[in-house]
């Protein structure tokens, strides 16, 4: 213990010496340098085409940028994944201006990356499926892009329109030449038209026909046109004036005339062959073999010259005045009931 106490003055002398002070300072500096070097990071800052190397003790990207006087805005994209060892990298993607116009308002938007849909969203504009956008929604956004959103609405309407019937013309020897008779009335049909109406920003476009359906089929009109001057080809040589014989023994006016036909080779009640020109009568009123001329009072129907050759129940009981023979059942049906004048020639 005595020996230790003897060395104290010497120790104090050493601690007060300049050499010790320099050594201690060097040690402290060395420790400080070591500590600082361990806490200092090298960071590469990529800002557009510029690449800067900076040193920092910060580990937050925004703090590092502020430390070195690099200003960013909210729309800029700052990418920093941290330090690996003592080295790191900060990438700055600068926002650029684009415009989005919708509903009559133009929005100025700053955006750094993304597509057209991102720019529209940044402008706070909503787009419906029917709306029209001036650029493809998935296209990458470019500086200076001017995006226009047009509001589109679709509606439909229906319209019923007439389908006009057509006319079928048939020739018949049952009518005098130049006379036309409608035997079946035509009936118009209907079709349902469906249109799609497109409105762009409140302006209606040309309607588009999207459906055309016939809902009621039209019915054709059937006309029969007289093909010869008279049904009968017989000619007894009488002179006609205004469609009427100039001489006759008597006339039965407003007579009821019907039509009939028979199978080929048939004969009449008088023994004459059943043929055009041989007509059925009441033989008590008009004897068999009497020559006749038959036509309507207005001349619209001319059976022509005929011979009383046949009879029937309706004729005998007075329900019909004359039954006119036709070659076909169809022509006899076309005759129907006609009101004629029967001119008795002999």
Residue 299's pLDDT band (cuts 50, 70, 90): confident
Prediction pTM value:
0.51
Tell me what the mean pLDDT of segment 251-267 comes to.
Answer: 95
What's the pLDDT at 33? 42
What's the pLDDT at 18? 62
Q: Determine phi and psi for 313, rounding to 5 degrees.
A: -60, -45
Residue 26's pLDDT band (cuts 50, 70, 90): low
Distances in Å between the Cα of 190 and the Cα atoms of 40, 187, 213, 219 are 89, 10, 9, 11
Give the model confidence (pLDDT) of 172-197 as tens digits: 755 656 668 888 999 999 999 999 99
Nearest 5°: the CA angle 236, 313, 285 is: 45
Nearest 5°: the CA angle 149, 153, 154 is: 140
Window from 112-116, 207-211, 220-224 with minimum mean pLDDT = 220-224
Q: What is the widest separation between alpha-carbon atoms in the chain?
A: 193
What's the pLDDT at 6? 54
| Residue 52 near residue 65 (C-beta atoms within 8 A) | no
Question: DSSP readout, 162-231?
Answer: EEPPPEEEEEEEEEETT-EEEEE--B-EEEEEEEEEEEETTEE---EEEEEEEEE--B-EEEEEEEES-S
Task: Pull the structure tokens for residue 228.
Answer: 């010869």
């Amino acid at each position: 213990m005595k020996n230790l106490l003897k060395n104290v003055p010497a120790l104090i002398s050493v601690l007060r010496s300049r050499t010790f002070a320099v050594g201690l300072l060097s040690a402290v500096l060395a420790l400080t340098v070591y500590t600082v070097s361990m806490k200092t990071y090298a960071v590469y800052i990529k800002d557009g085409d510029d690449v800067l190397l900076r040193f920092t003790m910060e580990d937050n990207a925004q703090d590092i940028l502020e430390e070195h006087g690099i200003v960013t805005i909210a729309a800029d994209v700052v990418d920093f994944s941290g330090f690996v060892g003592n080295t790191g990298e900060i990438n700055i993607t600068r926002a650029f201006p684009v415009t989005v116009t919708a509903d009559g308002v133009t929005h100025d938007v700053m955006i750094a990356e993304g597509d057209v849909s991102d720019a529209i969203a940044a402008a706070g504009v909503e787009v419906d499926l029917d709306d029209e956008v001036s650029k493809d929604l998935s296209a990458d956004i470019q500086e200076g892009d001017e995006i226009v959103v047009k509001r589109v609405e679709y509606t439909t309407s229906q319209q019923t329109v007439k389908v006009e019937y057509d006319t079928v013309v048939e020739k018949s020897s049952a009518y005098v030449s130049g006379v036309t008779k409608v035997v079946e009335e035509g009936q118009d049909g209907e079709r349902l038209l469906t249109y799609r109406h497109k409105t762009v920003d409140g302006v209606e476009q040309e309607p588009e026909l999207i459906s055309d359906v016939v809902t009621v089929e039209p019915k054709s009109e059937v006309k029969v046109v007289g093909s010869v001057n008279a049904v009968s080809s017989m000619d007894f040589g009488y002179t006609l004036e205004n469609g009427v014989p100039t001489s006759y023994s008597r006339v039965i006016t407003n007579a009821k005339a019907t039509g009939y036909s028979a199978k080929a080779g048939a004969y009449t009640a008088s023994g004459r062959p059943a043929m055009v020109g041989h007509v059925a009568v009441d033989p008590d009123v008009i004897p068999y073999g009497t020559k006749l001329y038959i036509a309507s009072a207005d001349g619209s129907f001319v059976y022509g010259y005929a011979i009383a050759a046949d009879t029937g129940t309706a004729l005998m009981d007075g329900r019909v005045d004359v039954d006119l023979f036709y070659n076909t059942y169809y022509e006899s049906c076309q005759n129907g009931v006609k009101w004629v004048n029967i001119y008795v020639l002999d």
